[in-house]
Amino acid sequence: MYSSLGNVQVLISLLKKYNIRHVVASAGTRHTPFIHSLEQDDFFHTYSVVDERSASFFALGIIEEKKEPVAICCTSGTAAANYVSGANEAFYQQLPLLILTADRNHYYKFQQEEQMIPQEHLYSDVCKKVVTLPHVRDEKDFWYASRICNEALLELTTGENGPVHINYIVENDYPINQGIVRFEKETLPNIKRIDRLSLEDSNEKWKSYAEKFKNSKILIVYGQNTPLSDAEIKMIEEFTNKYNCVISTDIISNLHVNHSINTYSICKTLNQEEKNELSPDILITMNANSISTVKNVFAPMKENFQHIHVSSKGEVSDPFKCLPDVIACSPITFFKKFAELGNDNLPEHSYYNLWNKYYQRVGQNGLLNNEELNYSALYVAQQLISKMPNNSLFHIANSMSIRMAAFFEPKEDINVYCNRGTNGIDGSMSAFIGQAHVSGKQSFLLIGDLSFFYDMNALWNKYVGKNVRIVVMNNSGGAIFYNYPGENNIPTIGKHIAAEHTTSIKDWVVSRGFKYLSATNKEEVNSAIEEMVKQDSDSPIILEAFTEKHEDINAFRSILEPYQSKEKETIKQKIWHNIPEGMAKDVIRGLIKKGQ
């Protein structure tokens, strides 16, 4: 029987998956759920050494002889402090010592509670990884504990061996009464062990991954990245030619290769049947954040595919919450290695063709650049992107600006940038001015009014050149908040959340030497952008396009409606067809209302 505590179950399950058998325990109460569970499992070989300092060195002796990780475990409080000497020795000898410390709920820190010290970071300077397993109360806690426990155990033997510290919370009555003494679980949860493939691994292990790739539909989510060289693009295309794959990109991926598709708009038009059809066998993530909604589409279907994350540092990134394998190398090395291990070029690419079918369904040849839009901020973004000269530099501010721009595709030789790392609105204009200054290219920025005002000081320096072109979409506040949480939910949303205002940028930018243009309709926007895209100008140029926030949100919500797949029969229709003839109209209305 195993402890009823979820975090203890996670820990024991993964110790078995990582083949960590030897555990040196010291006396105490807090770690009872863990130790007594081990005592009832023949997989483990446990030792009792009362003095924690001695126990840690005892474990080091076992490690040196067995050449494998060994765990030490103690109760909470000052017991944990006695492992410091052993942790330091393990660090400098590069020995894989797993330090397990039971802990009390952190709510009790510095509250005059017994056996309660800040023990989480006792060895942080000499441990390769430190994690605290939380109470497991729900599915999200279970996933988090499983993920970080995997991360910690991976570090024991990745690269140079070394100590790792897993601190785990145990409390008598939380989340269940008498958590320390309840042992009611007959079997352990089957938690996936995360595998990490590195360049140090054998060629046979790399080949085993390649064999899986050869027989699978592969979706690669290519996140934000800087433009690649021609040689790097060739390397990626060698990979895509050999595997049944699709590379999912968006406006900030800066990647245009064979078998790549901008999936931002597609994913917003799919019904469940189409999502099932497009579901991959293997989903690979790489680079920085993506604004594509691929995650929203496939996260609910995580049981259908294997997730693999590619990272130079070998870090675990699990946006789909299915505990991915990790390939520890750069994306370019990934493409190079697996291109070398692939078969000859595929005669057909059925998975790409399937995605391309839905890409062609959206707009004209998959693009919305030339669609007829009402006057709105979305129209302004469309016109700027479609008329921007070749080889321009293009920055997009965060929030609604990047979400609207993502519906359109610039020319392939236009490099696109956005401060998308943290999704904050601060610094967009400053980053743009810095890059525009050193690039010398004709440089464009698409930015909203709040983002502009937040970063006004970006124009308060001497580096604003004549190559600068800025389009400010001024709808008198944060329109994104009218999309969510929305005015219906928060009637006062304009007051503080959306920060409504009646301010124009004109006086400030004119004082900074800009040529100022303004627009309130399509004709004025078109004329202003024609002025902005001209190469020669005696000064930087800025366009303030005034729009109405409700129109902007309506345009954003409805742009893909003509391309969204319609269900054959709505719930209302199903109810109507099943209503017997002669039923009273008010009853019919009531049934239809319930069906909604």
Does 404 lie in the same domain as 458?
A: yes
Q: What is the pTM of this model?
A: 0.89
Question: So what's the pLDDT on residue 193?
Answer: 96
Q: How far apart are CA 182 and CA 3, in angstroms?
A: 6
What's the mean pLDDT in 471-475? 96
Does 312 lie in the same domain as 207?
A: yes
The enclosing H or E element of 489 equals: none
Q: Name the residue among 200, 469, 239, 454 with its Cα closest to residue 337.
A: 239
Question: So what's the pLDDT on residue 175?
Answer: 62
Q: Output DSSP code: residue 83.
A: T
Q: Poorest-confidence range of 137-141, 335-339, 348-352, 584-588?
A: 584-588
The enclosing H or E element of 165 equals: strand 164-169
Query: Of 138, 171, 193, which marks where a domain is finished?
Result: 193
Please write the tens of the pLDDT for every residue from 427-451: 999 999 999 999 999 999 999 999 9
Does 208 lie in the same domain as 184?
A: no
Does 349 lie in the same domain as 223?
A: yes
Statement: residue 88 has pLDDT above 90: yes
Q: Please name every residue paired with 196 in a beta bridge, in sequence order, or none if there are none.
A: 326
Does 178 lie in the same domain as 73?
A: yes
Question: So what's the pLDDT on residue 574?
Answer: 43
Helices and strands (H, E) in the chain, number of each type? 22, 19
Please write the tens of the pLDDT for every residue from 116-168: 788 989 999 999 999 999 999 999 999 999 999 999 999 999 989 999 999 99
Question: So what's the pLDDT on residue 592?
Answer: 43
Query: Of 167, 193, 219, which marks where a domain is finished?
Result: 193
Statement: residue 229 has pLDDT above 90: yes
Statement: residue 572 has pLDDT above 80: no
Question: So what's the pLDDT on residue 415?
Answer: 95
**Selected residue with higher pLDDT from 112 and 346:** 346
Please write the tens of the pLDDT for every residue from 244-281: 999 999 999 999 999 999 999 999 999 999 999 999 99
pLDDT-derived band at 571 (thresholds 50, 70, 90) equals very low
Please write the tens of the pLDDT for every residue from 364-381: 888 898 889 999 999 999
pLDDT-derived band at 95 (thresholds 50, 70, 90) equals very high
Give me the CATH number covering residue 284: 3.40.50.1220
Q: How many domains does the chain have?
A: 4
Residue 563 lies in a domain: no
Q: Poorest-confidence range of 108-117, 256-265, 303-312, 476-485?
A: 108-117
Residue 255 lies in a domain: yes
The enclosing H or E element of 141 equals: helix 139-155
Q: Please name every residue paired with 523 in a beta bridge, in sequence order, or none if there are none.
A: none
What's the mean pLDDT in 223-245? 96
Does 217 lie in the same domain as 185?
A: no
Residue 370 lies in a domain: no
478 contacts 450 by C-beta, under 8 angstroms: yes
Statement: residue 223 has pLDDT above 60: yes
Please write the tens of the pLDDT for every residue from 24-80: 999 999 999 999 999 999 999 999 999 999 999 999 999 999 999 999 999 998 999
Query: Of 132, 159, 193, which marks where a domain is finished?
Result: 193
Residue 465 lies in a domain: yes
Statement: residue 486 has pLDDT above 60: yes
Q: How far apart are CA 119 and CA 123, in angstroms?
A: 9
Does 338 lie in the same domain as 284?
A: yes
Question: So what's the pLDDT on residue 174?
Answer: 63
Q: Poorest-confidence range of 176-185, 187-196, 546-555?
A: 176-185
Give me the CATH number covering residue 384: 3.40.50.970
Residue 90 lies in a domain: yes
Question: So what's the pLDDT on residue 181?
Answer: 79
Residue 366 lies in a domain: no
Does 426 lie in the same domain as 309?
A: no
What's the mean pLDDT in 576-586? 49
pLDDT-derived band at 594 (thresholds 50, 70, 90) equals very low
Q: What percent of the chain lies above the pLDDT cut of 90?
A: 77
Question: So what's the pLDDT on residue 176?
Answer: 67
Does 101 lie in the same domain as 31?
A: yes
Residue 245 lies in a domain: yes
Q: What percent of the chain lies above the pLDDT cut of 70?
A: 94
Statement: residue 1 has pLDDT above 60: yes
Does 218 lie in the same domain as 94?
A: no
Residue 1 lies in a domain: no
Q: Mean pLDDT across the chain, nearest whole number? A: 91
- Identity (one letter) of the amino acid at 157? T
Does 17 lie in the same domain as 150?
A: yes
Statement: residue 110 has pLDDT above 90: no
Does 262 lie in the same domain as 167?
A: no
Q: Name the residue among 424, 472, 417, 473 with its Cα closest to residue 443.
A: 417
Please write the tens of the pLDDT for every residue from 394-422: 999 998 999 999 999 999 999 999 998 88
Domain that holds residue 98: 6-193
